[in-house]
């Protein structure tokens, strides 16, 4: 297979050897990503797509931990549980949108994302929003493929 400039095959999952995740991160004609995310992810051979609604850093009793770091830990734990219910892991995530209550949360959010995904880079968008409840600091929405 030939890839355009700056294109790389990211992973072939053990469960489905035909699925390929191909990163597209051109450097000509578009701004650079900075390395902790990519412009696009091509998914080939996936049998399933999982669209996960906005997931917050809430405990099972619907209460929010008091700090951003605790909510980020909680939201990634919640996403792992949702993914597991579909027989998937964070390795299946191919797209992420973050909704942050404050722009100052961007760095901590990026660090939590990179910790959750390891070396994998995916298309990512962060949006600053007013949440429905002031104590809800972060919400993540993902797309996974398998």
- Is 55 in the same domain as 105? yes
The CATH number of the domain holding residue 120 is: 3.30.1330.40
The whole-angstrom separation of Cα 110 and Cα 115 is 9
Q: Say which DSSP state 16 is in.
A: -
**76-115 tens-digit pLDDT:** 999 999 999 999 999 999 999 999 999 999 999 999 999 9
- Residues whose CB is less than 8 angstroms from the CB of residue 102 and which lie 6 or more positions away in sequence, other chains included: 128, 137
Cβ atoms of residues 123 and 113 within 8 Å: no
- The pTM for the full model equals 0.83
Phi, psi (degrees; rounded to nearest 5) at 32: -75, 150
- Is 80 in the same domain as 133? yes
């Amino acid at each position: 297979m030939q890839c355009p400039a700056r294109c790389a095959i990211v992973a072939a999952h053990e469960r489905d050897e035909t699925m390929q995740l191909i990163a597209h991160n051109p450097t000509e004609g578009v701004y650079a990503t900075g390395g902790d995310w990519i412009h696009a992810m091509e998914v080939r051979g996936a049998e399933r797509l999982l669209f996960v609604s906005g997931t917050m850093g809430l405990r099972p009793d619907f209460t929010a931990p008091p700090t951003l770091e605790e909510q980020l830990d909680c939201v990634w734990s919640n996403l792992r549980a949702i993914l597991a219910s579909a027989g998937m892991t964070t390795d299946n995530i191919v797209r992420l949108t973050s909704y942050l209550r404050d722009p100052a949360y961007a760095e901590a959010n990026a660090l939590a994302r990179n910790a959750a995904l390891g070396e994998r880079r995916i298309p990512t968008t962060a949006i600053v929003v007013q949440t429905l409840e002031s104590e809800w600091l972060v919400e993540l929405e993902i797309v996974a493929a398998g």
